[in-house]
């Protein structure tokens, strides 16, 4: 039996995390469980997913911890806007998980804003501009926190 794995797909809003996950996870990563709060919110409130964002975030965390309890391989998406998941990495590794982080970068905050606007035009969810642009400002510091845990 192969080692259980947790794959973290991270990056700023608009970076293409979900698209990357949909292409990469089922094939190359052989990981069919993808936990994504945006997709959960769209399932809860398809005509206004922003309204269900908080509940979707809670459900996402429950799903993550349920998969860990059952020693299942899984992946999840995050902007890494804080270090909360980094606190769990040593625990996951102690439980026998191999933890991998894929960080998708964008060149500028403006590109993030444009990509989110285009996503909304295509029917996707919106994110306030200050969140899209702000995702890039602390990325280096947050990535250092996470890579120390890996």
16-70 pLDDT, tens per residue? Answer: 899 999 999 999 999 999 999 999 999 999 998 889 999 999 999 999 999 999 9
Average predicted confidence (pLDDT) for the chain: 86
Res 136: pLDDT: 53
Three-state DSSP state, 9: strand
Where does the pLDDT of residue 15 fall: very low under 50, low under 70, confident under 90, or very high at 90 and above?
A: confident
- % of the chain exceeding 70 in pLDDT: 81
Res 52: pLDDT: 95
Where does the pLDDT of residue 114 fall: very low under 50, low under 70, confident under 90, or very high at 90 and above?
A: confident
In 3D space, the residue among 76, 33, 70, 83 whose CA is nearest the CA of residue 57 turns out to be 76
Least confident of 7-16, 50-59, 72-81, 138-147: 138-147
pTM > 0.95? no
Vertex 21: Cα angle to 71 and 65 (nearest 5): 25
Domain covering 5-149 in this structure, CATH number: 3.40.50.300
């Amino acid at each position: 039996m192969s080692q259980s794995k947790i794959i973290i797909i991270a990056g700023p809003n608009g970076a293409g995390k979900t698209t990357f996950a949909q292409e990469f996870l089922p094939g190359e990563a052989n990981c069919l469980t993808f936990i994504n709060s945006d997709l959960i919110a769209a399932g809860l409130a398809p005509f206004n997913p922003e309204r269900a964002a908080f509940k979707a975030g809670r459900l996402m965390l429950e799903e993550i911890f349920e998969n860990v309890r059952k020693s299942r391989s899984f992946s999840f998406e995050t902007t890494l806007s804080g270090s909360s998941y980094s606190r769990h990495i040593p625990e996951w590794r102690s439980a026998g998980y191999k933890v991998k982080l894929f960080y998708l970068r964008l060149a500028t905050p403006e590109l993030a804003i444009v990509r989110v606007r285009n996503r909304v035009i295509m029917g996707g969810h919106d994110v306030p501009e200050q969140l899209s642009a702000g995702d890039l400002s602390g990325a280096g510091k947050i990535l250092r926190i996470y890579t120390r845990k890996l």
